């Protein structure tokens, strides 16, 4: 059975739609794959490399003042303290292993959170 020319046009339209959909799916899969790659490539700094220190002497300090993890933009207040960019495992510069990023700790990557410090940027 022969198809009419209008049937052929319909089939080629369908083919174009399918090809476009396949292209879009391919792009989406590629983007998703790139995202997974980037997430798995990101590794937090070790406490040693970041120069992290944690001294019990500073535990009762006013954490709103001074260079403390508590008022650093990367600090997360959960289960003793976490940091977005420094791993909480491993020894600090003094060899102390606490398995947290303590509110009274600090490292060389410190970035002040002015909302916590109660100071305004100039
Ligand atoms: S001072 Fe360092 S370890 Fe502490 S929260 Fe900031 S970046 Fe993380």
pLDDT digits over 40-73, tens only?
567 999 999 999 999 999 999 999 988 999 999 9
Q: How far is the CA of 59 from the centre of ligand 1 (A)?
A: 16
Q: Ligand 1 atom closest to Cα of 110?
A: 1
For the chain, the average pLDDT equals 84
Q: How far is the CA of 100 from the centre of ligand 1 (A)?
A: 11
Which residues have CB under 8 Å from 100's CB, separation 6+?
79, 80, 81, 82, 88
| Cα–chain center distance at 65 | 26
Report residue 110's pLDDT band, with 50, 70 and 90 as the boundaries.
very high
pLDDT tens readout for residues 13-34: 888 888 888 887 777 777 766 6
Please say whether the beta carbons of 72 and 113 come within 8 A: yes
Q: Is the CB of 68 under 6 A from ligand 1?
A: no
pTM (predicted TM-score):
0.67
Q: Is the CB of 86 under 6 A from ligand 1?
A: yes
């Amino acid at each position: 059975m022969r198809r009419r020319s209008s049937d052929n046009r319909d089939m080629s339209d369908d083919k174009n739609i399918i090809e476009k959909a396949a292209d879009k799916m391919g792009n989406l899969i590629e983007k998703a794959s790139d995202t997974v790659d980037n997430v798995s490539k990101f590794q937090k700094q070790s406490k040693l490399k970041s120069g992290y220190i944690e001294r019990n002497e500073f535990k009762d300090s006013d954490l709103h003042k001074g260079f403390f993890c508590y008022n650093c933009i990367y600090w997360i207040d959960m289960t003793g303290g976490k940091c977005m960019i420094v791993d909480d495992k491993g020894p600090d510069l003094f060899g102390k292993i606490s398995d947290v990023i303590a509110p009274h700790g600090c490292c060389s990557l410190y970035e002040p959170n002015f909302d916590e410090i109660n100071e305004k940027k100039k």
